[in-house]
Structure 1
């Protein structure tokens, strides 16, 4: 139900079409875990105002709860969100809600408010997963008949990798509960391996609902199935995260070949740009996660395009003071860090980056626009092209045109403006235009409520980045060599973090889906597999950084002094990988059960009350310099 004080958004014909679609494709009223269906009163008010203003242009009649005219059709016009909430069972819709690419190292784990888009492809995949799980629990006959005789190797393979639940461990109530159900038309519990044919989609829904409603924890899962599922979910996410981060890595690789001061200047400029611009844009853009999801989920798809325009114009207006700050950043940084040459280079780098900020704002808004429609692969396709062209741009500007240090900045600007253009082409010619209704003046109205919704997200994201950016600013006090080494260390640790973090998103999605389907035992199994996988990833990252401690620095720089500093600190960074991965997976599991605030408070205390004080104490008081800074971060991650 809608929260108190909120006005549910309803349009008669659109909601009838959505409800008919859902009722045709599932016998259960509930499609998603309630973890993904939280509503925001401010978001409801924003959408209500937009609908009121657009009512003259909309073909549908819009009604609100407060406008009760006593018509008999009120029951049939029930808010679509109650349709998603109301059922006793839920389907395994494997949509990773709120996946935002480009996160470097989040400290606070947020939860998107609003339901993700559900389309035919999602429902078809959900049925395949449900049918496979029913087969694993011996409720449906096997898809392929097992041969009468199997080789020893085949038997060993099946014992290790088979996702079947051991028959002796199956709940005996499963068969009784399903056989006694009057809804079943066929005997799908036949012991004959050949069995009846696979059920139709509607019959699969009936079987699934019976299995999940008959009694609690009636369906079991295996670690093999959960490992396979997490691998399928996280694989594309890991690729996409690494592609997005490669835009920054490429520039650092290029500049590191030029000189020590240039590498330190890029690190300082990246810190300044993150705190003063990119974090602000990303934080303010989180309001679209809520607004776009609720607008699309309630059937008012054209409002998604309206919110996109409004946020983009708001961010572009905000870029005016940010551009002014960056124009004079060289003078400001010269008063903070002792190396004047590094400060001047960082200021020059930021001046060039001003040209790319409109593209950053447009791409952040565009990502939310396509993700609200369930088009998560759109960002992946765009980044595959963009990351490839970014490498060519760095070569062209830095070496071919011989722009040197500024060439790296030009390549970043080129890529930042290219990404939203590629995303526009995807929407225009492939998919996503159904939520676009053209440019409108209404995008310049109702900014106040959107700002109220966006400010908490901005504060949260700033808190995420600030702790690590403080360390970069602190490293500049030790000299240009330490600052250049800090740039390499941050790049290495952020790259390795882009493996467990997507895995945590996959774990969050899977656990939330299983809990939403009332399969709590299966959710526990999936959580254990995710934690084990996180430990394996941590061990892999730890081994990688420690074994290549003397080789990795020379991928970024030719300076022997900088490489020596990085080699000394890398063992500390390697030691923190295990805790880093475990913490990322744990936060994903907290998001999956809707208790992400626990992780947020824990991280804030660990970083700001433990990590930073220890870093400053060991870095300056004990004279450990960079080793001391990263030692404090490692202790904070352990906490």
Structure 2
């Protein structure tokens, strides 16, 4: 990653924006906003739809029995959640490579990159299979009861097809996103969500298949998404980006694996960070009410995070495409626009959380004690959703520009060396409980966000654009130059 101080840049720095006339600035802002929302809108809808598959399965399972609810909930959040984070992270390498290759006109390389990612993610999925198979003792090790662990473990083994659907789905999504074909993913996800809702009701409740029905429907829904997207890619050939299966998918894998691992470490450290919060709070004395309250807050934070994921995908595509095309000014201006837009939405969500802090807990619980504890935590939830409006955007910039390895180191330092220990000290040593644990972890997010803001601000975008083609060659393999379209 190339960085310089704005005073030394001469090109691509803040002066480019300051020199623009006011009317020119607002015209450019409106134009960039339109491009942003064309990507972010469908991406947000897709994220919410796919997030809803597991959430709806959990809801229907809760209508059967408390044990079924616990089994689906634990499998979704712990076993599948772990796999989801790994797969999403490994697949995110394509956001850099496909985005920059598309911007540079190397369209046929997109299909090769996607196939390479399939090879890597299918291998990763196979490595993760033992976690599913031996999930009962793993769950007991982290504190779950034997009854819940056995039920969740049984459900986890039934959900192995979903693991391999993840391995195919994420590369396809990054392949399509880089070409801005986000409406296709949104449409397929919408149709599958409707079918998922109906057949979940039919098999889980009406026919009475319980967890068996839940596994059948959830696995089928994820594979329908994969099949629908694959059919679109194969039939349309994505404007030349797909030219069929190729042995080139197995060439120059080392650089691709390196970037995939960096992407996985970067995103997994972020994805798991607040998930750990629930586990740590569960170690408090009398943890039932704090855990329930934290779970309510994390539920709201999860839905809000889907908006951030949409903006993350949008700015990743915009930055990678523009850097690949050599337009560093467009890339830099896109970062400014998405940051202002996302933070504005974050301020609105924060205000809503604070304004309804005495009321929204009762949407999730009938317990007055849990609602009271949730209200106490609402201010921390408000701060978290505000930070969530900017931090994922900056991570998207990092992915689009290819800075995953550097951000991975930043995440380790800020989250796990500063934030997590601070939360443990405040929660347990100083006896601030759930509020102390969450406050310390927020400190880690604040530190990471500040560092990413500084890095993004001093980046020499002209130099980043110049390095985009060499970055694709370095991580994509030496054959990239064979597919360039001038």
Superposition TM-score, scaled by structure 1 size: 0.56
Contact 1:284 1:457 in 2 (8 A): yes
Q: 2:428 aligns with which of 609, 614, 620?
A: 620
Q: 1:283 aligns with which of 80, 85, 89?
A: 89
Q: 2:351 aligns with which of 528, 540, 543?
A: 543
Deviations 1:558-609 (A, max 9, x none): 6666555544433421233333324445566777898888866655433223
Cα distance in 2 between the residues matched to 1:382 and 1:434: 21
Q: How far is the alpha carbon of 1:354 from its aligned partner?
A: 1.1
Cα distance in 2 between the residues matched to 1:555 and 1:257: 17
Q: How far is the alpha carbon of 1:334 from its aligned partner?
A: 1.0
SS state of the match for residue 489, structure 1?
helix
Q: How far is the alpha carbon of 1:302 from its aligned partner?
A: 5.0
Q: 2:158 aligns with which of 331, 349, 352?
A: 352
Structure 2 gaps of 5+ residues are 4-10, 448-486
Cα distance in 1 between the residues matched to 2:175 and 2:328: 31
Contact 1:247 1:387 in 2 (8 A): yes
Q: 1:421 aligns with which of 227, 252, 271?
A: 227
Contact 1:256 1:556 in 2 (8 A): no
* Closer/same/farther in 2, CA of residues 595 and 358 from structure 1, 3 Å limit: closer
Contact 2:266 2:407 in 1 (8 A): no
Deviations 1:439-486 (A, max 9, x none): 456655654554344322222222222322322332443556655554
The equivalences for 1:123-272 within 5 A come to 217=20, 221-223=24-26, 226-227=29-30, 229-230=32-33, 233-234=36-37, 235-255=41-61, 265-272=71-78
**Given the alignment of the two structures, is residue 394 of structure 1 paired with residue 200 of structure 2, yes or no?**
yes
Q: How far is the alpha carbon of 1:229 from its aligned partner?
A: 3.8
Q: Which residue of 2 aligns with 1:465?
A: 271
Higher radius of gyration, 1 or 2: 1
Structure 1 gaps of 5+ residues are 4-33, 36-88, 91-211
Q: How far is the alpha carbon of 1:421 from its aligned partner?
A: 0.9
The equivalences for 1:549-628 within 5 A come to 549=357, 552-553=360-361, 555-556=363-364, 565-584=373-392, 603-628=411-436
Cα distance in 2 between the residues matched to 1:511 and 1:293: 8
Count of residues paired in the alignment: 429
Segment drifting more, 623-632 vs 357-366: 623-632
Cα distance in 2 between the residues matched to 1:372 and 1:532: 23
* Closer/same/farther in 2, CA of residues 430 and 440 from structure 1, 3 Å limit: closer
Q: Which residue of 2 aligns with 1:318?
A: 124
Contact 1:573 1:630 in 2 (8 A): no
The equivalences for 1:367-406 within 5 A come to 367-405=173-211
Q: In proportion to residue count, which structure has more helix?
A: 2
Deviations 1:191-221 (A, max 9, x none): xxxxxxxxxxxxxxxxxxxxx9xxx758962
The equivalences for 1:469-488 within 5 A come to 469-478=275-284, 482-488=290-296
Cα distance in 2 between the residues matched to 1:227 and 1:398: 47
SS state of the match for residue 128, structure 2?
helix
Cα distance in 2 between the residues matched to 1:414 and 1:557: 31
* Closer/same/farther in 2, CA of residues 370 and 250 from structure 1, 3 Å limit: same
* Closer/same/farther in 2, CA of residues 338 and 423 from structure 1, 3 Å limit: closer
Q: Which residue of 2 aligns with 1:499?
A: 307
The structure showing larger relative contact order (alpha-carbon pairs under 8 Å, at least 6 residues apart) is 2
Contact 1:223 1:529 in 2 (8 A): no
Q: How far is the alpha carbon of 1:408 from its aligned partner?
A: 4.0
CA RMSD of the aligned region, Å? 4.4
Q: How far is the alpha carbon of 1:232 from its aligned partner?
A: 5.3
Superposition TM-score, scaled by structure 2 size: 0.71
SS state of the match for residue 283, structure 2?
helix
Contact 1:217 1:518 in 2 (8 A): no
* Closer/same/farther in 2, CA of residues 472 and 255 from structure 1, 3 Å limit: farther
The equivalences for 1:96-111 within 5 A come to none
Contact 1:275 1:462 in 2 (8 A): no
Contact 1:267 1:472 in 2 (8 A): no
SS state of the match for residue 627, structure 1?
helix
Q: How far is the alpha carbon of 1:330 from its aligned partner?
A: 0.8
Contact 1:573 1:634 in 2 (8 A): no
Q: 1:489 aligns with which of 276, 289, 297?
A: 297
Q: Which residue of 2 aligns with 1:305?
A: 111
